[in-house]
Structure 1
Amino acid sequence: MSPTRRDRSVLASVVFAVLLAQVLLYPGVPDLVAAVGATTALDASMWFLVAEFAAFVVCAGLWGAASDTAGRRVPFIVAGALGGAVGYFALAVLPAALSLSFAEVLVVRALQGATTIGAFSLAMTMLMDLGGGHGRNMGAAGIAIGLGTAIGAPLGGQLYGFGPFVPLYAAGVLLVCAGGLALFIPDRAPGERRSGRLSRALATLSERPSLGLPYVFGFIDRLTAGFFALVGTVYFREAFGLDAAATGVMLGLFFAPFALLQYPFGVLSDRVGRAVPIAVGSALYGLAVVGVGLSPTVEIAGVAMVAVGVIGALMAPATMALVSDLADDSARGTAMAGFNVFGSLGFLVGMLVGGTVADEFGFLAAFVVAGALETGLALVSLPLFFRFDFEDRRAVFGR
């Protein structure tokens, strides 16, 4: 195996471990928040998930800028992974040991998210640093993300059967493993440390406004992920009477095709450009989301979840590869951090809007709103593809 392929596999394994740890908590999050002192299900679950992703939004750019400034990735990945592991263990131990209020638990959750995002975002950035084709590298990242979430949902549901804190301990162990794996990867961050590099990195977005396009689509994609992590979880349990294990299986029906198809769709985007997968996917994605909410039986809902996963797999690697296409080599960490910030904002919006609408108007209204936001934002953004300069258009529309 070539060094590039080996490092691609190891980095994808780091991304996989981080996402697996994160998603282990989702199927039984109502049980988890009850165990740490919450008195409501939907609202408390929403704020527990929001606390982590709010920290992602605030801290992703800091990790990326620090990495670009230092000209190193690996030490920051290790620090983020080990810090995230401590955070997961603290969530399992401290609420009972220190009699924490639920608000204090949310602070611990935010600190865990602030460190975890460093490992995730910079592992993605190291994949951007590799050669071999951006679509191929982002396809590897996508399949790692998809497999982590595909396995995490049903596995987390099973782990909740042993107790509400078991997924937290498992998540902590996974992040320790992720930090250990990162030590075996050589740094390929472009350039050397220079004074003023931090300000240069933070100026990336204003210098390359074309990066706004993949950021918008990253926002849209993660909006629906946040929606399903919260509203979908509670919906499946209440509408169809599913327990945590069965809910994990339902979430897995989305994440399994999302995982398995990421790599081939990423390679496809290298051949045909980024515009076709993104445009076709965005046109259908919102409709598929609404289809889940309209499903009269759990079986039909499962089929609709598979469709959402296939369409998401078509879009995701092309969107991430577009970040690689458009970013300067010297500011990839900040570029990918920006993508993750917008993605985390989308996740937040998906949870907050979905949770609020579901609480006030019911689950069907929440699915319609989420689908409409997805399709509407995509349609507004698609004309921007044709405003790229010549070199950017070659990546977007194929060579």
Structure 2
Amino acid sequence: MSRTRSRVALAGVVYATLLAQVLLYPGIDTLVEALGAATHLDASMWFLAAEFAAFVVFAVPWGLASDAAGRRVPFVVAGALLGSLGYLLLAVLPGALALSFPAVLALRAFQGAATVGAFSLAMTMLMDLEGSHGRNMGATGIAIGLGTATGAPLGGVLYGLGPFVPLYAAAGVFLLVALGVPFVVDRAPAAGERASPFAGLRRTPRLALPYVFGFADRLTAGFFSLVGTLYFRTVFDLSPAATGVTLALFFAPFALLQYPFGVVSDRIGRTRPIVAGSALYGGAVILVGAVSSLRAAQGGMVLVGVLGALMVPATLALVTDLAAPGDRGVAMAGFNIAGSLGFLVGIVGGGLVADAYGYRAAFLLIGGLEIGLAAATLPAFRRIESGQATGSGP
């Protein structure tokens, strides 16, 4: 399989993972109620958090196993099959066995532990491709954006057919991934020494930069998946379908602009897209929560999507720039750990702040964190660019 076809196929795996994940978001309050939860905000928060807690714990073992074996494809297939099973069990077992909500959360954690393998290692396989890092990570960003852009409105429609229909659809999506991945050429480096993302950070401390931005960017994604969804559902009284369309106003430009912005980051460097993009992105997040009309908030979502598309491929490409070829599996695992922790904090922290102080305070806090991070890391990015200009290593 050619490099271009491999890039498209692997981006398809990333797309499918995000599609399945986001199918659940537009009516998450409806789903947790059907699963036996007594409250909407708290139960939705913990249902989303359970998946990403599993992402944090299990991203490293998947990456270590893949690097040690010198192969990726069998692990992606295994993650996809187990992920399909996890979604199916969530749809069937709670009603059949009258499971308590804590037991439902345990099933959700199992599903997250499986799907992070398919997701993280598909991204690692894109890192393994020769050629432009910006193009490869731009393809990843497009897949992430398209998955979320189509998953949000489609999930809203599927909720109209029943609260468990998105779960069945997600199970089917992962089954298709498992059937398709074996046709992709496995370009993993030869089996090497087992390492951890923490050892990689010791060898290459500058990986902390893309990691911390991955944390912050996914923090806002987690925030929007819970607080943003419930904000539009309650403040503007939107249905799941209308909420899905509103979320897509962010995800559509986020998807469509990833590849061209990835190419731009190859030409102008990573600093400006990441640092300037993050500062503007934080301001756009604050804007969404500050305006009083639905149309203005939806316009803010479009702006958030454009600025997110500027940042993400440059951040992903920076991981590839800095990681040694034999460490790419654990380097991407480390990035996904940071991102999953961010998503988890965005869900739990955003939910707690919104519950205690209201939606506007929560939007202000999340946007302000992004702006502060951009300002704090600018000197470190300048040092990296200076070192690259003089030919020194990472």
Q: Is TM > 0.5 for Structure 1 vs Structure 2? A: yes
Task: Please say if residues 68 and 201 of structure 1, whose CA atoms lie closer than 8 Å, have aligned partners that are also in contact.
Answer: no
CA distance in 2, matches of 1:129, 1:201: 17
- Equivalent position of 2:339 in the other structure: 343
Shift of 1:378: 2.2
Task: Please say if residues 325 and 392 of structure 1, whose CA atoms lie closer than 8 Å, have aligned partners that are also in contact.
Answer: no
- Equivalent position of 2:99 in the other structure: 100
CA distance in 2, matches of 1:75, 1:169: 24
**1:376 is paired with a residue of what secondary structure?**
helix
CA distance in 2, matches of 1:377, 1:371: 10
CA distance in 2, matches of 1:202, 1:355: 30
Which region of structure 1 is more displaced relative to structure 2, 13-22 or 381-390?
381-390
Matches within 5 A, 1:323-338: 323-338=319-334
Identity %: 64
Matches within 5 A, 1:366-385: 366-385=362-381
Shift of 1:273: 0.9
CA distance in 2, matches of 1:117, 1:354: 23
**1:121 is paired with a residue of what secondary structure?**
helix
Shift of 1:385: 1.0
**1:256 is paired with a residue of what secondary structure?**
helix
**2:238 is paired with a residue of what secondary structure?**
coil
Runs of 4+ in 1 over 6 A off after TM superposition: none
Runs of 5+ in structure 1 lacking a partner? none
Task: Please say if residues 88 and 168 of structure 2, whose CA atoms lie closer than 8 Å, have aligned partners that are also in contact.
Answer: yes
1:222 aligns with 2:221: no
Q: Deviations 1:178-213 (Å, cap 9, x if unpaired)?
A: 11221111111112x35xx11377621211111000
**2:353 is paired with a residue of what secondary structure?**
helix
Q: Deviations 1:36-59 (Å, cap 9, x if unpaired)?
A: 000000000000000000000011
Distance 1:273 1:361, change over 3 A: same
Q: Deviations 1:334-365 (Å, cap 9, x if unpaired)?
A: 00010000001111111111100110111111
- Equivalent position of 2:194 in the other structure: 198
Shift of 1:176: 0.8
- Tell me the amino acid that sits aligned with residue 39 of structure 1: A
CA distance in 2, matches of 1:352, 1:382: 28
CA distance in 2, matches of 1:120, 1:186: 17
Distance 1:368 1:327, change over 3 A: same
1:296 aligns with 2:307: no
Which region of structure 1 is more displaced relative to structure 2, 270-279 or 73-82?
270-279
Give me the TM-score of the superposition, normalised by structure 2. Answer: 0.97
Match of 2:236 among 226, 240, 251: 240
Shift of 1:132: 2.2
User: RMSD value over aligned CA atoms?
Assistant: 1.5
Give me the TM-score of the superposition, normalised by structure 1. Answer: 0.96
Q: Deviations 1:225-255 (Å, cap 9, x if unpaired)?
A: 0000000000001000101000001100000
Runs of 5+ in structure 2 lacking a partner? none
CA distance in 2, matches of 1:339, 1:352: 20
Work out the number of aligned pairs and report it: 392
Matches within 5 A, 1:65-84: 65-84=64-83
**2:194 is paired with a residue of what secondary structure?**
helix
Task: Please say if residues 83 and 112 of structure 1, whose CA atoms lie closer than 8 Å, have aligned partners that are also in contact.
Answer: yes
